[in-house]
Structure 1
């Protein structure tokens, strides 16, 4: 048992980044200065409201800490970012039996609500090769990273660390160019100092649909000019997996890709997930017009389309179903041909009769090819 402090407070949106920046210093000062301090967890309740979940060894430790207030500069700096106190409660912690078969935590890589991800760690001490997942959903806020958690579960069970990232999307503040691209770049680069159990020399990027586009873009960041959003990567991936990826933005724009979103009652692709944020659909439907790509890049293809950046470097696996109702398989074929023509290593796997979501289902036969390729890439040897 231990004592739990539940303190709810407000932070003005313009102070959120400063509060998150001050947080590590505050926690470090607590560890040095506060007897009985065990752990702290920060929970975002809404845009302005936060819950601090702090664990102490006993009531006296909590009382002593309250009496000290902001006695250390790092603690005072954190307190200075807070707008007001909503409430403070205490309780005694009784733990239920914990499931030690999965270790998952949410990590913020920026101050915005969508600048987060889940880090999954397998059993053991590591260092573990990493698969960074980027979900699809027409780059819109209608869908989120929950649609790809089945892939995360499968990969972590195979011994990979998995980083399932969220990013700002069309239909929320900052979505589109450059915010979406800056977020994906920052999310990948956040692996650099996230956890000592991660082998950041063995990172594979995996994306589905619109996330396949973003994963491919992130894999080619080294080819961006210095002034481009997302240039100068900290993490250099050793492989890219695109599953039904929207890899040719010019073709997608010309085809009116995503204009189906103008009709919320349109028939979705087979096995499509339910919207995570259905309330966002109305704004997207109003803005989408004849296609979603202009809302994403506004004609800036050179720094955003994988087909324009493709070249030698990161090995590629592109998987696409012939019965894909959302993204034409030709876009993946064209991209892998471009990589090969530029001297790179690319494997294209076409799934006969495969739909848009078949390629991202761990139970589908093609998944063995995907995981086999990842194994070959991170180990340098074929899977037995």
Structure 2
């Protein structure tokens, strides 16, 4: 069981940017000076109202932090941006306990609020094989890891430990190189998350833009030594891409995501996606330029451009996907010998992510072949 602190506050629109700029410093100060701090997440309820969702290991840790108040200048700087406190409550999370030791918990792998993940453990002592999940959403802060909870529940029921990782995204400090640094760090963190995990038996699975990140993670061992994400501490034994953007050069040239909301016409999203450049496609925003401008970045991030490491990859794509064209997966699989392409007749973009879809059995069957579920003891 953990303690959740729920604080609702208002911030004037003209001070929103200052509040968000002060937030990383506040969280860093909490990690350094507040015993029992686990994670923090901001939720925007409306343009001027925010919910701060903070997790602590126990009541005493929360009380100690409250007593300290704004003793650190970084914490005080954040508090100074707040217009008014609406409410402050705390409660206990009971979903973390299932008739025994805590089976699901939030763990930070870095100081940024988005450098966290949920670790799901199946019953037993382990060591368990691990599936790392990477969510989609155009690499943007418009979407988060909650989109993968259905998949996490299904895989845990099959005997896998699951690490549903969050990472910095566009509008949240991500893009180049932060998003890739975080995915690499989240994967490597598996080696130290919990003694019940087997870091030698890890697979990575992602959807849409997360599919690109998952397959990129599977190719990290082949990256040049000075590239972002090189020299992996944890090397996946398999990777699954569901409707993945596996050819970033092609996605850039076809201006994938050019129709995303523009904050100029969607004023409730000014801190999520930058207004400039959306019409040029989201890959341009992700990598800080088009393929002809920064070809070296595409060469070390686009799965279709990376050397084959021999890690088995399953690239699944719905034939009726009108969000990410199937050709983005097909062109990757045609170039990489260790990749298998599976096109699902009649399936749309989110069908391949649905454990209730008839194709899911093919995905889990392939995964079970390369990463058998259950406990293996030496």
Q: TM-score range by the shorter chain?
A: 0.7 to 0.9
**Is contact 1:247-1:335 (8 Å) kept?**
yes
How far has the Cα of 1:133 moved from its partner? 0.4
Q: Tell me, what secondary structure is at the counterpart of 1:205?
A: strand
Q: Tell me, what secondary structure is at the counterpart of 2:148?
A: helix
Question: Residue 74 of structure 1 corresponds to which residue in structure 2?
Answer: none
CA distance in 1, matches of 2:280, 2:341: 30
How far has the Cα of 1:285 moved from its partner? 5.0
How far has the Cα of 1:279 moved from its partner? 2.7
TM-aligned CA distance change 1:107 to 1:316, over 3 Å: same
Whichever of the two has the greater Rg, that structure is 1
Correspondent of 2:282 among 280, 292, 299: 292
Question: Residue 339 of structure 2 corresponds to which residue in structure 1?
Answer: 346
TM-aligned CA distance change 1:138 to 1:354, over 3 Å: same
Correspondent of 1:332 among 306, 329, 332: 329
How far has the Cα of 1:234 moved from its partner? 0.5
Instruction: List runs of 5+ in structure 2 lacking aligned partners.
Output: 8-21, 43-49, 80-87
CA distance in 1, matches of 2:358, 2:182: 33
CA distance in 1, matches of 2:59, 2:93: 12
How far has the Cα of 1:310 moved from its partner? 3.8
Question: Residue 204 of structure 2 corresponds to which residue in structure 1?
Answer: 205
Are 1:44 and 2:43 an aligned pair? no
Q: Tell me, what secondary structure is at the counterpart of 1:289?
A: helix
* Moved segments of 4+, more than 3 Å: 11-19, 40-43, 45-56, 79-84, 89-102, 280-287
CA distance in 2, matches of 1:43, 1:16: 8
Correspondence list, 1:79-98, <5 A: 83=75
Correspondent of 1:20 among 31, 34, 38: 31
CA distance in 2, matches of 1:311, 1:49: 42
Are 1:379 and 2:367 an aligned pair? no
How far has the Cα of 1:205 moved from its partner? 0.5
Correspondence list, 1:72-151, <5 A: 83=75, 99-100=98-99, 103-151=103-151
TM-aligned CA distance change 1:283 to 1:318, over 3 Å: closer
How far has the Cα of 1:313 moved from its partner? 1.9
CA distance in 2, matches of 1:369, 1:151: 14
**Is contact 1:222-1:232 (8 Å) kept?**
yes
When the two structures are aligned, how many residues end up with a matched partner?
A: 330
Q: TM-score, normalised by structure 1?
A: 0.74
How far has the Cα of 1:149 moved from its partner? 0.8
Are 1:181 and 2:180 an aligned pair? yes
TM-aligned CA distance change 1:22 to 1:231, over 3 Å: farther
Q: Tell me, what secondary structure is at the counterpart of 2:217?
A: helix
Correspondence list, 1:264-343, <5 A: 279=269, 283-297=273-287, 298=289, 299=294, 300-340=297-337
CA distance in 2, matches of 1:95, 1:150: 19
CA distance in 1, matches of 2:90, 2:53: 21
Question: Residue 368 of structure 1 corresponds to which residue in structure 2?
Answer: 361
